């Protein structure tokens, strides 16, 4: 009799943790598990703001997948998923077609542009190792370009659209990086502008109390960040952004961090989606196709209060753990275990040595919060790769090249 087939799409937080946990539960010849990912490495999205700003090497934000999985139990395929066909239980990859008994979709998110013209063409986004390499190089290039043609002061203006988690963490790092860039390129720091534009009336990740938000914005302003709140970007053009009030901000660099939506492959496959995300049952399965588990940014999990939990790495990791167990139970004919989100808190970095956040209900800020952020990072590295990975990525880490 052939072995049951499990296919896991995406080796991000949700997909990778599913694979790592599942390999601990199964024997090598029991189940045929295939993990598919676009790259042969896993990247920690929560770390990407640092290499994007140039304050850390991108190597510290990624880990080779072969170093994390047990290849006797998990077959890894480096490929891009082209199509999911749930009615036929198959997945189309670049060069082959896979069939499955159970599918896990952990393909993450895509940029939400809200239809703003020009964003897709002229703004950069922080969403992969390749994107952050590009942003870092582009920012440096604009400093170099300014030195060749110093009447274009706008080359030194960096606009960041969106002041949520990603925008805030990036802007904090970037402000720390500016003195080095000015030193490297002999640029007067007073000419550099970092402008963070946000449509809602407050900056910083939603859900934080007002006093922490004020603290965070003070820290950022002291670093030289300018905020434009309650301000919508109406269009992005090659030389800058047009605001809702008609003002045009000339800028050499525009980064968009204003929103994400679930991976479009789900909608294309006929799943019912809301902003690209699929509402799942208590066991994280699709309501339409119960042999499909959906994790992370692709899924919508409702809280007991009836509102969707925000998509983040924390919930994606917990979903991965739950999905691994439920795959095992499904394969062994045991009752499934419902998913219960254990919210541990949120900590947002504001750059070097500064952060703000909530741990359960306790507010944290400053150096303590920054230290806790490092603990959170270390905890995740431990979960996927044990103590050696903490040493490799946090202690003996790769130095950023100038």
Cite the active site residues.
Answer: 169
Give the DSSP H or E segment for 5: strand 5-9
Q: 113, 127, 139, 323: which one contacts ligand FAD (CB under 6 A)?
A: 127
Contact characters 75-114, ligand FAD, x per CB under 6 A: -----xx------------------------xxx------
Instruction: Give whichever of 49 and 365 is closer to ligand FAD, judged by the CB atom.
Output: 49
Tell me if 68 sits within 8 A of 385, measured CB to CB. yes
Contacts of 386 (CB under 8 A, 6+ apart): none
Instruction: Give whichever of 9 and 116 is closer to ligand FAD, judged by the CB atom.
Output: 9
CA distances from 61 to 21, 55, 81 (A): 21, 12, 23
Burial of 105 (0-12, 13-18, 19+ CB in 10 A): buried
Does 352 contact ligand FAD by CB under 6 A?
no
CA angle 284, 76, 325 (to 5 degrees): 30
Instruction: Give whichever of 42 and 187 is closer to ligand FAD, judged by the CB atom.
Output: 42
CB of 121 to ligand FAD, least distance (A): 20
Q: 18, 23, 34, 45: which one contacts ligand FAD (CB under 6 A)?
A: 45
Q: 6, 18, 49, 73: which one contacts ligand FAD (CB under 6 A)?
A: 49
Q: 5, 39, 90, 138: which one contacts ligand FAD (CB under 6 A)?
A: 39
Report phi then psi at 143, rounded to 5: -65, -45
Contacts of 145 (CB under 8 A, 6+ apart): 152, 155, 252
Tell me if 39 sits within 8 A of 81, measured CB to CB. no
Q: 6, 12, 22, 271: which one contacts ligand FAD (CB under 6 A)?
A: 12
Cα torsion angle, 105, 384, 168, 59, sign? negative
| Segment 309 to 338, residues that bind ligand FAD, using CB under 6 A | 311-314, 316
CB of 250 to ligand FAD, least distance (A): 25
Instruction: Give whichever of 31 and 132 is closer to ligand FAD, judged by the CB atom.
Output: 132
Q: 7, 14, 174, 370: which one contacts ligand FAD (CB under 6 A)?
A: 14
CB of 272 to ligand FAD, least distance (A): 18
In 223-285, which ranges are continuous DSSP H helix?
264-268
Instruction: Give whichever of 84 and 116 is closer to ligand FAD, judged by the CB atom.
Output: 84
Q: 18, 23, 37, 322: which one contacts ligand FAD (CB under 6 A)?
A: 37
298 vs 303: CA distance, rounded Å: 16
**CA 129 distance to own-chain centroid:** 11
Q: 46, 168, 253, 318: which one contacts ligand FAD (CB under 6 A)?
A: 46
CB of 41 to ligand FAD, least distance (A): 8
Does 204 contact ligand FAD by CB under 6 A?
no
The site for ligand FAD, by CB under 6 A, has a size of 33
Does 215 contact ligand FAD by CB under 6 A?
no
Measured at CB, which residue is nearest to ligand FAD? Answer: 12
Residue 288 token pair: 């339409």
Residue 57 token pair: 């090497």
Q: 6, 8, 10, 113: which one contacts ligand FAD (CB under 6 A)?
A: 10
Instruction: Give whichever of 51 and 240 is closer to ligand FAD, judged by the CB atom.
Output: 51
320 vs 13: CA distance, rounded Å: 7
Instruction: Give whichever of 39 and 234 is closer to ligand FAD, judged by the CB atom.
Output: 39
Does 271 contact ligand FAD by CB under 6 A?
no
CA angle 21, 22, 25 (to 5 degrees): 100
Separate counts of helices (H) and strands (E) for the chain: 9, 25
Q: 7, 20, 31, 48: which one contacts ligand FAD (CB under 6 A)?
A: 48
Which is nearest to 189 in space by CA: 198, 200, 179? 179
Instruction: Give whichever of 330 and 346 is closer to ligand FAD, judged by the CB atom.
Output: 346
| Segment 159 to 198, residues that bind ligand FAD, using CB under 6 A | 165-166, 169
Tell me if 249 sits within 8 A of 134, measured CB to CB. no
252 vs 237: CA distance, rounded Å: 10
Sheet of 97-99, strands arranged across: 81-85, 90-93, 97-99
234 vs 161: CA distance, rounded Å: 11
User: Using CB under 6 A as the criterion, which residues of the chain lie in contact with ligand FAD when the complex forms?
Assistant: 10-15, 36-39, 45-46, 48-49, 80-81, 106-108, 126-127, 165-166, 169, 263, 296-298, 311-314, 316
């Amino acid at each position: 009799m052939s072995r049951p087939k499990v296919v896991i799409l995406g080796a991000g937080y949700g997909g990778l943790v599913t694979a790592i946990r599942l390999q601990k539960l199964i024997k090598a010849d029991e189940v045929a598990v295939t993990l598919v990912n676009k790259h042969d490495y896993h990247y920690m999205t929560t770390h990407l703001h640092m290499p994007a700003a140039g304050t850390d090497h991108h190597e510290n934000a990624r880990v080779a997948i072969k170093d994390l999985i047990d290849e006797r139990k998990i077959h890894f395929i480096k490929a891009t998923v082209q199509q999911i066909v749930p009615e036929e239980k198959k997945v189309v990859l670049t060069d082959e077609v896979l069939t499955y008994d159970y599918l896990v979709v952990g393909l993450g998110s895509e940029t939400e542009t809200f239809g703003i013209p020009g964003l897709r063409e002229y703004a950069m986004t922080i969403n992969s190792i390749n994107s952050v390499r590009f942003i870092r190089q582009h920012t440096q290039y604009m400093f170099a370009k300014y030195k060749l043609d110093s009447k274009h002061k706008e080359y030194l203006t960096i606009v960041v659209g969106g002041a949520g988690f990603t925008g805030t963490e990036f802007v904090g790092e970037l402000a720390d990086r500016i003195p080095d860039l000015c030193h490297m390129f002999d640029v007067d720091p007073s000419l550099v502008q970092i402008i963070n534009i946000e449509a809602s009336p407050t900056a910083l990740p939603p859900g934080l109390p007002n006093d922490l938000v004020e603290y965070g914005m003070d820290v950022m302003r002291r670093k030289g960040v300018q905020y434009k709140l309650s301000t919508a970007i109406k269009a992005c053009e090659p030389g800058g952004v047009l605001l809702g009030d008609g003002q045009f901000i000339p800028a050499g660099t525009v980064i968009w961090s204003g929103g994400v939506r679930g991976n479009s492959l789900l909608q294309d496959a006929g799943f019912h989606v809301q902003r690209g995300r699929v509402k799942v049952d208590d066991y994280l399965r699709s309501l339409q196709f119960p042999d499909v588990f959906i994790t992370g940014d692709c899924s919508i999990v409702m809280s007991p209060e009836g509102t969707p939990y925000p998509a983040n790495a924390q919930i994606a990791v917990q979903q991965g753990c739950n999905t691994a167990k439920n795959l095992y139970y499904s394969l062994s004919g045991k009752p499934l275990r419902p998913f219960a989100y254990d919210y541990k808190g949120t900590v947002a970095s504001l750059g070097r040595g500064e952060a703000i956040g909530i741990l359960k209900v306790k507010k944290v800020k400053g150096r303590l919060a920054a230290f806790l952020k490092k603990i959170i990072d270390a905890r995740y590295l431990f979960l996927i790769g044990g103590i050696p990975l903490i040493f490799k990525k946090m202690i003996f880490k790769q130095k950023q090249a100038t």
